[in-house]
Amino acid sequence: MASALEQFVNNVRQLSAQGQMTQLCELINKSGELLAKNLSHLDTVLGALDIQEHSLGVLAVLFVKFSMPNIPDFETLFSQVQLFISTCNGEHIRYATDTFAGLCHQLTNALVERKQPLRGISILKQAIDKMQMNSNQLTSVHADLCQLCLLAKCFKPAVPFLELDMMDICKENGAYDAKHFLCYYYYGGMIYTGLKNFERALYFFEQAITTPAMAVSHIMLEAYKKYILVSLILHGKVQQLPKYTSQIVGRFIKTFLTLSLQDMASRVQLSGPQEAEKYVLHMIEDGEIYASINQKDGMVCFHDNPEKYNNPAMLHKIDQEMLKCIELDEKLKSMDQEITVNPQFVQKSMGTQEDDVGSKTSSYS
């Protein structure tokens, strides 16, 4: 093993033993080029490090190995990553969540390319548990897990993560890519649609659509297409989006508010209007939607749900939803209190107030 690599191993061991994780993160961030130049020796480096004690060092090596344009032995690397994620020190890798998440993204992409999504599901579940400070914290790996579950047509492993209300976001190196946020809700909506939990699916698509944005992304557009279809199945009509929806999004989606059988067929990739009509008729017969089809122009007319919402079961459901609202209100109050005492928020608020006072003073002088 080259002397530079030996020095890398010694530094990783020393800093890990001293608990100097911040300095260790700086080391591995600077060592990427060194490791990339010594690809043939990286397995030797891994053999010299202990996964539990030197998690950040092992992470750096595996990240570089997965970054190679052509992976010579994928099965060996897959086994190394699988072992690492299952046995690494969670407290250590939380100092380098950006690199850890990057490794998970690389693994996901590799499995998608090889059409082996099922192999990564249990690994990513463990990865999320390692990254999270609490179960209500959203990570970028959540989107990877949902993607693999969708491609594998194995939805249930993702459901426990989707059922939780996300109250926090795991900042990876102080940032979080909005793409992963949108994909989490888009893929989550697709999973709930596959499970025929249309109410939850509609909520997830709505979250993807109403995320504040300067421009409408392709993910948001696809989410709105699914939002229309699920809304028709659930309510028999296209539900209006909340008032807080971005005006940019609102203007963009107005063109999708009228659908014909031809539109439905093209948007969900059916063979033609006849097949779309068959699906609509089946949904009408099953009571999933309330609609009639105009055979002359091929348009579908949707009607309101005849449910009167006055039976005991519905009243019980309303009571349960009210309890959830009370619990959510308490959480919002707690979050508001945390923000109020946050030093950055206080400093920014004081700066805004000083600017306002200054502008008023200048206007009077």
Report whether 102 contacts 63 (CB < 8 A): yes
pTM of the model: 0.69
Furthest C-alpha separation in the chain? 80
What is the distance between the alpha carbons of residues 287 and 279, in angstroms, rounded to a whole number? Answer: 12
What is the distance between the alpha carbons of residues 180 and 147, in angstroms, rounded to a whole number? Answer: 11
pLDDT of residue 305: 64
Contacts 24+ apart (CB under 8 A), 323-332: 328/165, 331/167
Q: Residue 264: inside a domain, yes or no? A: no
pLDDT of residue 299: 76
Q: Residue 355: inside a domain, yes or no? A: no
Q: Residue 353: inside a domain, yes or no? A: no
* DSSP per-residue string spanning 222-273: HHHHHHHHHHHHHHSSPPPPPTTS-HHHHHHHGGGS--BHHHHHHHTT-S-H
* DSSP per-residue string spanning 202-217: HHHHHHHHHS--SS--
pLDDT of residue 243: 61
pLDDT of residue 256: 46
Q: Measured between alpha carbons, how far is residue 332 from residues 68, 328, 346 in Å? A: 45, 6, 18
What is the distance between the alpha carbons of residues 272 and 263, in angstroms, rounded to a whole number? Answer: 9
Report whether 302 contacts 236 (CB < 8 A): yes
Report whether 208 contacts 241 (CB < 8 A): no
**Counted domains in the chain:** 2
Domain boundary among 131, 165, 191: 131
Residue 188 tokens read as 């989550």
Report whether 132 contacts 89 (CB < 8 A): no
Q: Residue 200: inside a domain, yes or no? A: no
Q: Range of 32's domain? A: 1-131
Helix axes of 178-194 and 141-152: crossing angle, nearest 10 degrees: 30
Report whether 158 contacts 146 (CB < 8 A): yes
Look up residue 173 and give its DSSP letter.
Answer: T
Q: How many C-alpha atoms does 109 have within 13 Å on its Cβ side? A: 10
Domain boundary among 94, 110, 131: 131
Domain boundary among 105, 131, 157: 131
Of 167, 162, 151, residue with least CA distance to 185: 162
Q: Residue 69: inside a domain, yes or no? A: yes
Q: Each residue's pLDDT tens digit in the chain (365 positions)?
A: 558 889 999 999 999 999 899 999 999 889 989 999 988 899 999 999 999 999 999 999 999 999 888 888 899 999 999 999 999 999 999 999 999 999 999 999 999 999 999 999 999 999 999 999 999 999 999 999 999 999 999 999 999 999 998 888 888 877 667 889 999 999 999 999 999 999 999 999 999 888 776 666 788 888 888 988 898 888 887 777 766 555 545 554 444 444 677 877 776 677 888 888 888 788 778 776 767 777 777 777 666 666 666 678 777 777 788 888 888 888 888 888 888 888 887 887 777 655 555 555 555 45
Q: Residue 116: inside a domain, yes or no? A: yes
Q: Residue 64: inside a domain, yes or no? A: yes
Q: Residue 66: inside a domain, yes or no? A: yes
